[in-house]
Structure 1
Amino acid sequence: MGLLSLGTPLDWPEVKPHISHVKSHGIKQFLNIWNRVKTRTKDYLLWGEEVEYCVVKFDDENKTAKLYLDADEVLFKLMDLEKQSLSQGLVFESSWKPEYARYMLEGTPGLPYGATLNDLLLVEDNMKKRRVLASSFLGEGVEILSLTNFPMLGAGKFCEPYYRPAIDSGPSRSLFIPDEAITKHARFPTLTANIRQRRGEKVAINLPIFKDSNTPSPFLEPLSLNVVDHLKARGENIPASLPEYEKAALPDHVYMDCMCFGMGCSCLQVTIQACNVEAGRRLYDHLAVMTPILLALSASAPIFRGYLTDVDCRWNVIAGAVDDRTREERGLESLRDSKYRMPKSRYESVSLYLSPGPNVSGGCRGNDDFAKPPPGTRHFKEQYNDLETPYDEEIYEKLREGGVDNLLAKHYAHLFIRDPLVVFKELLDVDDNTSSDHFENIQSTNWQTMRFKPPAPGSDIGWRVEFRSMDIQLTDHENAAYSTFIVLLARAILHFDLNFYIPLSKVDENMITAQKRNAALDGTFWFRNQVFEAEDDISKEYGRYTLAEIMDGTTSKEGVCSIIDRYLDEVDTPGSTRQILKDHVNIVREKAIGKRKTGAAWIRDFVTNHPAYKHDSVVTPEINYDLLKKIKELDSNEMLVE
């Protein structure tokens, strides 16, 4: 979730006088890091994955399933157990951190996975042990599930214990979700309130409703009972529909109005340590092209607020949930008080490629795949960075004067057009030589599809990249498969010196396509015609392909999965290990060719075939209960298409 400092958080009016201070010292902190570790090299490929779980309480007598808001008590027990083990010099197999919502648990391996291919075989077992460990602290009827989005979040009395949303007070002021659902750590309610205050209004998310045979047209969502009771208490008239009451709610859409709808979703993230800064930048660029591809293949969120929607993923929901841009920054009004027009939310696809940069580390030497010298300018072309990308010119100049190259300086100057959202009073003045708090304040609240992560001061961790676009999968087996797929893809990129570059405007188009219903089978995506070659004319380098063509290949084009298979054949991999890893790659391939359903397709089919479903796009508590019960017992092979 980012930087979890302790202290007295400042509300937005108190933050504003300190914005320049935080940014200025954040850049100083980065420059100190850069000059200290830019030449660092020969790091091993250590990596880790992050799984965000959802804790659900089942009532079998009444056939209901609700979010369990006391999951934070389980989290504290897990964190204490980890702390005790570490104090005794023991390695704890898992690590646990707070997430945005009280019903969420974030679990990672206790230590990074090792650099060998055999280490990839440890992932699924570690995930299963995490689930068993967390479940051992849960009471009767409480289960831990890997759900991208709880289908009834914000619909009726969806949580246990139940709290009534505070429409006119508190951090969220949501019509649907009580602030008691937010984790109590000061960072989270402060983020919520400060995003709303900086924006000048509540966030507004509208997803198109899935139009089934009995869905009204136009679809006008009725007012929730909570809003009706609120209006009655105030002696006000009761509008006939939600769009009549809330101007931000659109007809034929499902409306959401607070941060919890996005940050209360769960995802699967993979962080990889590169050999050096140059290898990290190469991975950042080429994996960035793959983020919408893997978003579509991992799609697992077709239901929001108890309605089937016409999307399959969480991405736009979370982008809207943290969108703190003012009306001027969103281009709805002329710039007067704001400095920049910002085309994107804080939570979006990347806007700049980073490679190539100067060979500051000298390149690694050795036989490891992550130890090859950087290819320089062989693949990158300036025309690929074709997006409108505002950046802070003053910060850019400071970075350039500090020895940072043009591309990396522009990247961080772009990130630093954002204001700090959570500032702790006690941490305003820190030692820039030993702290990176101000830098991470900005870095960690730019939630992009990829994140480029420099080493922390005093840490033995190297340069890392974080792959952030994937929805979480319904089973440990598939979460392990997607995690190992990303690591194998990274290895193949560097081993074969692959070229995935396309203009970033095309990557953004792919992000839009990836979220559409059934995009994994029906969508077409921009991708390079050949990933081993380059053309003088950029327009001839790429075309539109189905995911089956991208991942499985065509008669004239080798697929990404086939390239990974070839990588496993070329490197010295034991036969049994090679077969298991190929089986993991095959899970991703099967999603692309339609042999295996995405989580979103499986969930949608379950709902539409449920005997209680009335083909009106409504997911009832009964359907939700049966769905989650099925997910609890789900085997990944049940997602195969017969």
Structure 2
Amino acid sequence: MGLLSKGSPLNWEETKKYADHVRKHGIVQFLNIYNKVKERQKDVLLWGDEVEYMLIEMDEKNGKVRLVLNGGEVLETLQDKGEKTNPNHPTLWRPEYGSYMIEGTPGQPYGGTMSEFNTVEDNMGKRRREASSVLNKNETLATITSFPRLGCPGFTQPEYKPTPVEKGVSKSLFFPDEAINQHPRFSTLTRNIRHRRGEKVVINVPIFKDKCTPSPFVEKFPEDDGEAARAALPDHIYMDAMGFGMGNCCLQVTFQACSIEEARYLYDQLATFWIDKLLAQHIAHLFIRDPLSLFEEKIYLDDENESDHFENLQSTNWQTMRFKPPPPNSDIGWRVEFRPMEVQLTDFENSAFVVFIVLLTRVILSYKLDFLIPLSKVDENMKAAQKRNAVQEGMFYFRKDIYKGDVLAKCLNRLIEGDIEYTLMSIDTIINGKEGIFQGLIPILNCYLENMEVDVDTRCTILNYLKLIKRRASGELMTMAKWMREFVDKHPQYKQDSVITDRINYDLLRKCDSITKGEERCPELIGDPVNRGK
């Protein structure tokens, strides 16, 4: 979600004048926080998840699904019924970039006991039921990464047309400004990023080439002033707005560590950075950036007690990991946010991914595991992950020996024998293990669980979650992306031309909604868990 300041937003030219001021005072604000709490120890181990939802309308009569642009009203209603009435309400609701999006989190963070894993799915269910209860007839929540017809004509309810040639925020050919959250942070970000670039956002995604897809596939843009024609690539789908990225949904987990040292260790291991980078270097990298959203009332601040300038730059650093210092004068500790997960259809799947990552952090800290590889290889892994059917066909760099031994001996072995500590592995090998190559994360987690005191119900829940992860990694169960592709491919109206029509989209999301609500089983995607929770 990022920093949601209130006030009068400045345009890019005005913001640019204060860029050095924001950077200078952002550094001072971070240093003030750091110096106050750098020695802080023994914070309670806490964590929580964030699930992003899309609000959609199922128009059965016309066979259409549209994104409903009433997220602001839904959010206000949920907050009025929840946290504003009861500070201990079990759920919290926050805005997101799209005006058709909301974000839900548990009302209070989870603690460090194993029994907490048995409550995650229940809380996600509460969130889904709570939000669904305030929706209009024919509206529902969708936890999907991307709306299949995002940017196509008439994809919103109410319907708005983009305004590429008029005065507006994004000037997109496809994404209307009304689909952007009305909080000034989001429109200011959108406008200022475009002004800073001197052009619109340029996104080119390779098109799914099918039997009847034109070759080469070249889009025509009737309202284009020439910018899209220059930017669009053949055989790619061209997108020209932040909404095609920020308007998608994801699943995130934030961990509060016991100390700054533990937070740094977790950050490095989950990001798979190479050798222990100084915290100063990480923070310095934030401050090579420009502030993208600034409010007139938030220029001159009390650096001892406020951190808006630091958060201004920190919250527009959209990486897969985020290192989060404590807010000034709070009892919140040093935190790490894990950000790369795609949101899944059901609360069971989302809970499985959350519990898997949280368990992994416990094992990393308990066994002092070492996942570090060169960051350049992490970048290559991210590119490989974006390819079709990457889970079954992709190969990813991963460390062979994750148990920390004699560092000097390892260095000498590399010099003498040319020993490389990482190699290419399949996802199946990384998750489930392969003899002679890598023991696998699931077997390591199972070993950890065997040495922990866990009640029967919690153990059953955890093993169900790990079973899902194991079967997805092996290819026994489909990923969400593969399942969607197969659904479209088998639809009677699909013409093998790469086009998802309104009818195909309706039938796909109707099926998704039925699975999400438990009205329909989907063993090829989810399997058949023993205990799905309530």
TM-score per shorter chain, which class? over 0.9
TM-score, normalization by structure 1: 0.78
Correspondence 1:250-261 to 2 at 5 A: 250-261=233-244
Contact 2:368 2:404 in 1 (8 A): no
Correspondence 1:352-391 to 2 at 5 A: 353=273, 381=275
The equivalent position to 1:504 in structure 2, one of 375, 387, 390, is 375
Q: Which moved more, 1:76-85 or 1:454-463?
A: 76-85
Contact 1:597 1:641 in 2 (8 A): no
The equivalent position to 1:443 in structure 2, one of 303, 311, 314, is 314
Which residue pairs with 1:470 in the alignment?
A: 341
Contact 1:594 1:641 in 2 (8 A): no
Contact 1:478 1:636 in 2 (8 A): no
* Deviation of 1:244 (Å): 9.7
Correspondence 1:316-331 to 2 at 5 A: none
- Tell me, yes or no, if structure 1 residue 102 matches structure 2 residue 85: no
Which residue pairs with 1:171 in the alignment?
A: 169
Counterpart code for 1:547? I
Which residue pairs with 2:507 in the alignment?
A: 626
SS of 1:468's partner is strand
- Tell me, yes or no, if structure 1 residue 26 matches structure 2 residue 23: no
Which residue pairs with 2:36 in the alignment?
A: 36
TM-score, normalization by structure 2: 0.93
The equivalent position to 1:551 in structure 2, one of 410, 419, 431, is 431
Q: Deviations over 1:78-109 (max 9, x none)?
A: 122234324xxx41111111111110011111
Which residue pairs with 2:208 in the alignment?
A: 210
* Deviation of 1:583 (Å): 1.6
Correspondence 1:144-163 to 2 at 5 A: 144-163=141-160
In 2, the alpha carbon distance for the partners of 1:61 and 1:117 equals: 48
Correspondence 1:452-531 to 2 at 5 A: 452-531=323-402
Counterpart code for 1:554? K
Contact 1:595 1:640 in 2 (8 A): no
In 2, the alpha carbon distance for the partners of 1:251 and 1:175 equals: 18
Counterpart code for 2:381? N
In 2, the alpha carbon distance for the partners of 1:120 and 1:59 equals: 37
Which residue pairs with 1:70 in the alignment?
A: 70
* Deviation of 1:578 (Å): 1.8
Which residue pairs with 2:290 in the alignment?
A: 419
Q: Deviations over 1:385-404 (max 9, x none)?
A: 7xxxxxxxxxxxxxxxxxxx
Contact 1:101 1:264 in 2 (8 A): yes
- Tell me, yes or no, if structure 1 residue 16 matches structure 2 residue 5: no
In 2, the alpha carbon distance for the partners of 1:574 and 1:96 equals: 31
Q: CA RMSD in A?
A: 1.7
SS of 2:304's partner is coil
Q: Deviations over 1:450-484 (max 9, x none)?
A: 00111101211111100000111111110011011
Aligned length: 512
In 2, the alpha carbon distance for the partners of 1:636 and 1:43 equals: 42
- Tell me, yes or no, if structure 1 residue 53 matches structure 2 residue 14: no
Contact 1:477 1:636 in 2 (8 A): no
Which runs of 5 or more residues in structure 1 are unaligned?
237-242, 290-352, 354-379, 386-406
- Tell me, yes or no, if structure 1 residue 288 matches structure 2 residue 168: no
In 1, the alpha carbon distance for the partners of 2:227 and 2:122 equals: 51
Which runs of 5 or more residues in structure 2 are unaligned?
516-520, 529-534
Q: Deviations over 1:115-174 (max 9, x none)?
A: 111011111011111111111111110011101111111011111101111112201000
In 1, the alpha carbon distance for the partners of 2:85 and 2:524 equals: 38
In 2, the alpha carbon distance for the partners of 1:202 and 1:483 equals: 35
Contact 2:468 2:527 in 1 (8 A): no
* Deviation of 1:636 (Å): 5.6
The equivalent position to 2:134 in structure 1, one of 133, 137, 142, is 137
Q: Deviations over 1:321-350 (max 9, x none)?
A: xxxxxxxxxxxxxxxxxxxxxxxxxxxxxx
* Deviation of 1:528 (Å): 1.0
* Deviation of 1:485 (Å): 0.7
* Deviation of 1:285 (Å): 0.9
Q: Deviations over 1:574-614 (max 9, x none)?
A: 23312211221221111110111111011111001111111
Counterpart code for 1:454? P
The equivalent position to 2:218 in structure 1, one of 209, 217, 220, is 220
Which residue pairs with 1:395 in the alignment?
A: none
Q: Deviations over 1:173-212 (max 9, x none)?
A: 0000110111110100000000000011001000001111
* Deviation of 1:42 (Å): 0.8
